[in-house]
């Protein structure tokens, strides 16, 4: 079955156990609709912007970049198993901004993102990429909550 409704799906992943549920949903929707998946990981460089890059920060940046490459590679492997075309995308910047900008600039029909489902003080202190994507996106967003609610 090929759908004209979903042609390009962005699956935003951070490589965490929680985001794996969102990846599963996104891959399944892509499989059912014949869509192409854009596996997107954003290296959050906002923490680095105000601090001069030294060897320690460079090592941290490289670690985050490798984690991102691993995360999107895992999405690609899962897509291949399901017969879904997956394009790997690694960006840098503020995660929610990069996710929404990429989706809007690449004709995405859907953004799939996971959330920990935190509430109250935890959410206030940590912020929520998923919430910011929902609030800022012109593209429909599917938020997949973790099985483990806090």
The CATH number given to whatever domain includes residue 46 is 3.40.50.620
Question: Is 34 part of a structural domain of the chain?
Answer: yes
Confidence of residue 125 (pLDDT cuts 50, 70, 90): very low
Going by the DSSP 8-state scheme, the letter that residue 2 receives in this structure is -
Asked if pLDDT for residue 94 goes beyond 50, the answer is yes
**What mean pLDDT, rounded, does the chain reach?**
86
pLDDT, residue 45, reads 84
pLDDT score for 121: 45
- When pLDDT is cut at 50, 70 and 90, the band that residue 120 belongs to is low
* pLDDT for position 10: 98
Torsion on CA atoms 31, 33, 34, 40, rounded to nearest 10:
-70
CB-CB contact of 104 with 12 (8 Å): no
When divided into structural domains, the chain yields a total of 1
Rounded Cα gap, residues 96 and 12, in angstroms = 10
Phi, psi of 23 (to 5 degrees): -60, -45
Nearest to 48 by CA among 33, 31, 65, 35: 65
- Determine the average pLDDT of the residues in 57-77: 91
Q: Would residue 1 count as lying in a domain?
A: no
Predicted model pTM: 0.87
In a domain, 2, yes or no: no
Comparing CA positions, the residue from 13, 62, 65 lying closest to residue 40 is 13
Residue 122 lies in a domain: yes
Count the Cβ atoms, other than its own, within 10 Å of residue 54: 8
What is the rounded average pLDDT of the residues 59-84? 94
Residue 113 resides in a domain? yes
pLDDT band of residue 57 (cuts 50, 70, 90) is: confident
Phi/psi at 148 (5° precision): -95, 100
86 beta partners: 37
Domain that holds residue 18: 8-145
Q: Both tokens of residue 105? A: 């600039």
Looking at the domain assignment, is residue 150 inside a domain?
Answer: no
Q: Which of 15-19, 51-55, 82-86, 129-133 has the highest mean pLDDT?
A: 82-86
Query: CA 25, CA 112: separation in Å to the nearest integer?
Result: 8
With cut-offs at 50, 70 and 90, classify the pLDDT of residue 71.
Answer: very high
Residue 107 lies in a domain: yes
**Whether residue 42 has pLDDT greater than 60:** yes
């Amino acid at each position: 079955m090929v759908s004209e409704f979903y042609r390009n799906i962005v699956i935003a992943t951070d490589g965490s156990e929680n985001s794996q549920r969102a990846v599963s949903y996104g891959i399944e929707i892509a499989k059912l609709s014949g869509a192409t998946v854009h596996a997107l990981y954003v290296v959050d460089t906002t923490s680095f912007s105000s601090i001069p890059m030294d060897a320690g920060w460079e090592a941290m940046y490289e670690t985050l970049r490798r984690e991102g490459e691993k995360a999107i590679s895992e999405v690609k492997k899962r897509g291949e198993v399901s017969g879904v075309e997956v394009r790997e995308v690694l960006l840098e910047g503020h995660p929610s901004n990069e996710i929404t900008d990429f989706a809007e600039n690449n004709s995405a029909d859907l953004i799939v993102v996971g959330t920990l489902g935190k509430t109250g003080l935890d959410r206030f202190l940590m912020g929520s990429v998923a919430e910011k994507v929902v609030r800022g996106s012109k593209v429909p967003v599917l938020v997949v909550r973790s099985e483990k609610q806090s």
